[in-house]
Chains A and B, each alone.
Chain A
Amino acid sequence: MEFAGQDTQPILRTDKVVKRFAGAVVRDREVSALAGISLEVYSGTTLAVVGPSGSGKSTLGFCLACLERVSSGKVWIAGREVSGLDERELRAVRPNVQLVFQDPASSLNPRMSARELVMEPLRIQKWRGQEEQSARARALLDRVGIARAKEGHRPGEFSGGQKQRIAIARALALEPKVLILDESLSALDCSVQAKIANLLMELQAYLGLTYVFITHDLAMAAHLGDEIAVMHGGQIVERGSAKRVVDAPAHEVTQRLVNAFRSSTAVARLPQLV
């Protein structure tokens, strides 16, 4: 399968990334959340990362977003090696990779309006003046489908899907190249998931975004992902085109995942709906 921009350098690249946490709480030893992750993601494509709980998916997301430092190994963002940068240099890099979390109810400050929420990253990064920040926030909210009349409302007045739209608008404020979508659809109703998935596809086509979509919903991974990486025990045990991984899973972990999915969904996903 060919991906856009495959001839150029990847927008994200990691080489043997290891992340260890001091395991004082869990056990009396260090815990390796990531045990040598090497991957590359090309601009404008989606890498879906699936795997059971505790396989290291979210840690990988945090490392790619430069919010966790890797214990060893290297991370490149848009060709620049970021694993060795100091905190001040990282601040300049972070706008390139933004995160959208699972639960918009807890990731949005309940005391700020939708517009203020989207303006906040612009304010922190000192992007132009307040007027322009406000105008950009308006445009972004418009893009993700939040009505102009509701810009002044606080998160509590929005539905779950609308909150996630606001979180996406905020993530886009600094014109990132990459979005890390960490279970961004999991907390939403099925009918709302479909709408947000469609929005993500529109935004990707329009803005040329690259997605790392972390999920345990294999069907959504196959739907949004160009490639799927299957994680287990801090490693990528299988990686390939979404279609290949789902139709012909090679690794045992992937096979279990696909089977768990097929058995639970066998009846519900029959195509002959009226």
Chain B
Amino acid sequence: MTPFLDVRNLHVSYGATDGSRAKALAGLNFSLRAGETLGVLGESGSGKSTLAAALLGILPPNGRITAGSVYFEGQDLLNTGARAMEKIRGARIALISQEPSQALHPAMRVNAQVRDVLAAHQPLRGRQLRERVQYVLSAVFSSETERISASYPHQLSGGQRARVLIAQAMVCEPALIVADEPTASLDAETQQEIIALFRELQRKMQLSVVWITHNPALLAGLVERVMVLYAGRVAEIGPTETVLCAPRHPYTQGLLRCLPPLSDENQAGHKMKLAVISGEAPGGDLDTSGCVFEPRCAERVAVCANREPEVVRVGNAHEVSCFKAGC
């Protein structure tokens, strides 16, 4: 059976003005079942936003997919023409983008912005169109739906704008939603509200989700599986609880150790330093003969600098790209 979404050996690079090309994704493999939710965890330069753009076919002009394949509902997306892609984007695959304040048109009312998405994909007119828009907006705003529908983005709070983006993404009842850090700029409480709403709608509509974030704390309870990206490669992928509680890749382990605990367990009120991952994430050039994390890895062995690690299956649906994981 072909998976709902299947990404194989995906390579993406960006051209610079001097003619050189920088790799952003270097051989990404993963697949998604219909209705499944996957969290993509990565820091700056990991390639997570490039992945979102590649899935939606909206890479910037200097970005190019140099190898690999993306199959969605059996269709080869990388060999789908621009016009055909326009029919898929928004209708079958929808994006919830990063910055609610920038993703909305500043001079259009909320209902018009949701209506335009729907009208672009479905042959609805007049009352039908209005009713469907109103229905979706009332699903994301439990109160004051009327007032908010007629508002402009600047009249709304950050959380309300995020809800509008969710309405836009869901109005065509897509099969897959790619969410690129839609809650990153919200405070903790609002973040929880938005995530709870998203979860509820996702369950109701049986949506598949790729939720991209740099914040591991967000993923617990939100997604079924987590894929950790480092420098354009999959470091580790597995069930959320396994990856967050028993990570096997040294990068994932280091990343989770960086988080301050909510209550410091140390005694006498002495502040402790946080654990860190030495060195900096590689920028631009990801070419290496060995493991891309090797220069920063505290557990490296001789082979790490010479060969790229294979993907090792370490447990139930838990895969790790590390030589040490195989032992």
Q: Is the CB of B264 within 8 A of A273?
A: no
A264 and chain B: residue at smallest CB distance: B217
Question: In the docked arrangement, what's the CA distance between A160 and B307, Å?
Answer: 30
Q: Is the CB of A268 within 8 A of B187?
A: no
1/0 contact trace for A205-241 toward B, CB 8 Å? 0000000000011111011101000000000000000
List residues 111-129 of chain A with CB under 8 A from any CB of chain B. none
* Chain B residues touching A, range: 35 or more
List residues 185-217 of chain A with CB under 8 A from any CB of chain B. 189-195, 197-198, 201, 216-217
Looking at the complex, which one of A189, A190, A222 makes contact with B263 (CB distance below 8 Å)?
A: A222
Question: Which residues of B have CB within 8 Å of A189?
Answer: 43-44, 214, 281
Contact A267-B44, Cβ < 8 Å, known A223-B260, A262-B262, A274-B248:
no
Q: Is the CB of B216 within 8 A of A224?
A: no
Q: Is B274 an interface residue (CB 8 A)?
A: yes
Contact A265-B220, Cβ < 8 Å, known A197-B260, A198-B273:
yes
Q: Is the CB of A190 within 8 A of B246?
A: no
Contact A257-B189, Cβ < 8 Å, known A269-B217, A274-B248:
yes
Q: Is A53 an interface residue (CB 8 A)?
A: yes
List residues 149-164 of chain A with CB under 8 A from any CB of chain B. 159-162
Q: Is the CB of A264 within 8 A of B220?
A: yes
Q: Is the CB of B259 within 8 A of A190?
A: yes
Q: Is the CB of A264 within 8 A of B262?
A: no
Q: Is the CB of A273 within 8 A of B253?
A: yes
Q: Is B123 an interface residue (CB 8 A)?
A: no
Instruction: Count contacts on A: residues with CB < 8 A to the other chain.
Output: 48
Q: Is the CB of A190 within 8 A of B245?
A: no
Question: Which residues of A have CB within 8 Å of B259?
Answer: 190, 194, 219, 265, 268-269
Looking at the complex, which one of A159, A193, A270 makes contact with B283 (CB distance below 8 Å)?
A: A159
Looking at the complex, which one of A1, A197, A260 makes contact with B191 (CB distance below 8 Å)?
A: A260
B118 to chain A, nearest CB (A): 30
Question: Which residues of B have CB within 8 Å of A160?
Answer: 44
Q: Is the CB of B262 within 8 A of A246?
A: yes
Q: Is A52 an interface residue (CB 8 A)?
A: yes
Question: In the docked arrangement, what's the CA distance between A16 and B253, Å?
Answer: 46
Q: Is A20 an interface residue (CB 8 A)?
A: no
In the complex, the 3 A-B pairs of residues with the closest C-beta atoms, listed nearest first: A267-B220, A223-B260, A189-B43
Knowing that A193-B258, A223-B261 are A-B contacts, what are 15 other residue pairs whose CB atoms are under 8 Å apart, sorted by A's residue number? A189-B214, A190-B214, A190-B259, A191-B254, A191-B255, A194-B276, A198-B276, A219-B259, A223-B274, A257-B188, A257-B189, A260-B192, A267-B220, A268-B244, A273-B257
